[in-house]
Amino acid sequence: MNYKDEYKDFERRMKKTIEVLLEQFDSVRAGKANANVLNQISVDYYGTPTPIQQIASISTPDPRTLAIQPWDSSALKSIEKAILASELGINPTNDGRVIRLAFPQLTEERRKELVKQVRKYGEEGKVAVRNIRRDAMDKFKAMKKKSEITEDDMKNMEKDIQQLTDNYIKEVDDMTAKKEKELFAI
């Protein structure tokens, strides 16, 4: 495997970090109904942890409400229990056929907590990108030690990986700022 393939692999890993960060940001409850907040919740369905989306239809009848209607009504209690056990912070209302989640208006204090959570996710994303850079540098140093690459190749790769890292760190910062702004716009 040459260093161009290695570079593409490290770039793919950094892209994956951004995708994971987007999923985490989507799971932050921002005061309006968003089905993505349920992505992290699994329901014990006949002894198997199952994502809610696989056992129920999810709709938004109005901007502040999610309606969860399981295809198997016996799953209602399990879904309700899973939502209560999650860190969602919303009490579900069960009418025997549909579970409703009413999203309250965000308070200033809650917005600040959510911003802290978003910043934490952003910092974790930057750490992940930096760890990938470190792995790349270690890999390239090992290739240099085995004489698979020249000193010039090593310098060029270090420069390229640093540039890639800087670009992804900037993307994480931009995404974090955008999500923070979104939290205060609601």
Q: CATH number for the domain including 86?
A: 3.30.1360.40
pLDDT of residue 33: 67
Closest CA to 81 of 65, 64, 62, 68: 68
Say if residue 98 is in the same domain as residue 148.
Answer: no
Closest CA to 118 of 172, 38, 176: 176
Q: Which domain holds residue 178?
A: 3-26+107-185
Contacts of 37 (CB under 8 A, 6+ apart): 26, 27, 28, 29, 66, 88
Say if residue 72 is in the same domain as residue 134.
Answer: no
Mean pLDDT by 10 residues, the chain (186 residues): 76 92 77 73 84 86 84 86 80 86 79 87 94 92 86 88 94 91 75
pLDDT of residue 124: 93
Say if residue 86 is in the same domain as residue 67.
Answer: yes
- Look-up of token digits 């952003």: 122
Closest CA to 3 of 149, 137, 162, 146: 149
Say if residue 84 is in the same domain as residue 118.
Answer: no
Say if residue 135 is in the same domain as residue 89.
Answer: no
Answer with the one of 43, 69, 102 that is the final residue of a domain.
102
pLDDT of residue 74: 85
| Number of structural domains in the chain | 2
Say if residue 123 is in the same domain as residue 158.
Answer: yes
Say if residue 157 is in the same domain as residue 118.
Answer: yes
pLDDT of residue 2: 64
Answer with the one of 56, 81, 102 that is the final residue of a domain.
102
Contacts of 135 (CB under 8 A, 6+ apart): 10
Say if residue 79 is in the same domain as residue 133.
Answer: no
Say if residue 172 is in the same domain as residue 152.
Answer: yes
Answer with the one of 48, 67, 102 that is the final residue of a domain.
102
CATH code of the domain covering residue 144: 1.10.132.20
Q: Which two tokens stand for residue 159?
A: 């420069």
Say if residue 53 is in the same domain as residue 93.
Answer: yes
Say if residue 127 is in the same domain as residue 93.
Answer: no
Say if residue 111 is in the same domain as residue 147.
Answer: yes
Q: Map residue 91 onto helix, strand or coil.
A: coil
